[in-house]
Amino acid sequence: MRLASDVAYLGPLRTMVRESCSLVGFDSAAGEEIVLAVQEGAANVIRHCYGGCSDNPIDMWILFGENELTIELVDYGTFVDPSQIKSRKLEEVRPGGLGVHLMQKVMDEVNFEQNPAGGTTLTLRKRVPAADPQTGGS
């Protein structure tokens, strides 16, 4: 799906991710964590790659794998060197700097890649936990 880089559209984006998580088999709690990670990724795109401008495109690809969900966020703005997107130390209690930390804590893989034509592809990947053989749950 393609959406404008407007923070007002992040609600519908979350709804789509939430439903995708359910479809793949994540439980509600895990699904909400993935929703949070995608929210943080999209917010970073709007804030850092597009400098807060609300009329630029963000393409979101949701790739359904076997027991795995991959979400790609593609922007066409300024590439932000991943080494510059540092999460702050958690013991430093101050506003800001939590987005990357949350993404990395929640997802199995977080990858920022510079696109040849400009912009960034952020890949977020998460595997569905193996089912517990005793309970049948995950």
Partner 1 sequence: MALQVKREEFGDAVVLGVEGSVDIYSSPELRGELKLALDKQAPRIVIDLAGVSFIDSSGLATLIEGLQKVKVYSGNLVLCELTQTVLGVFQLANLDHIFTIKETRESALAN
* Chain contacts with partner 1 (rule: CB under 8 A): 7-8, 10-11, 14, 29, 32-33, 35-36, 39-40, 43, 46-47, 90-91, 93-96, 98-99, 101-102, 105-106
Q: Which is nearer to partner 1, 40 or 75 (CB)?
A: 40
User: Cβ 46 to partner 1, closest distance in Å?
Assistant: 8
Tell me which residue of 51, 101, 46 sits closest to 73, measured CA to CA.
46
Q: Which is nearer to partner 1, 118 or 129 (CB)?
A: 129
Measure the CA–CA gap between 11 and 19, rounded to whole angstroms: 13
User: Cβ 68 to partner 1, closest distance in Å?
Assistant: 21
Measure the CA–CA gap between 138 and 131, rounded to whole angstroms: 4
Q: Which is nearer to partner 1, 101 or 125 (CB)?
A: 101
Q: Which is nearer to partner 1, 28 or 114 (CB)?
A: 28
Non-local (6+) Cβ contacts of 72 within 8 A are 59, 60, 61, 63, 121, 122, 123, 124
User: Cβ 57 to partner 1, closest distance in Å?
Assistant: 18
Judge contact between 1 and 59, C-beta under 8 A. yes
Measure the CA–CA gap between 112 and 37, rounded to whole angstroms: 14
Q: Are strands 57-65 and 68-75 parallel, antiparallel or unpaired?
A: antiparallel
Q: Which is nearer to partner 1, 11 or 136 (CB)?
A: 11
User: Cβ 126 to partner 1, closest distance in Å?
Assistant: 14
User: Cβ 26 to partner 1, closest distance in Å?
Assistant: 13
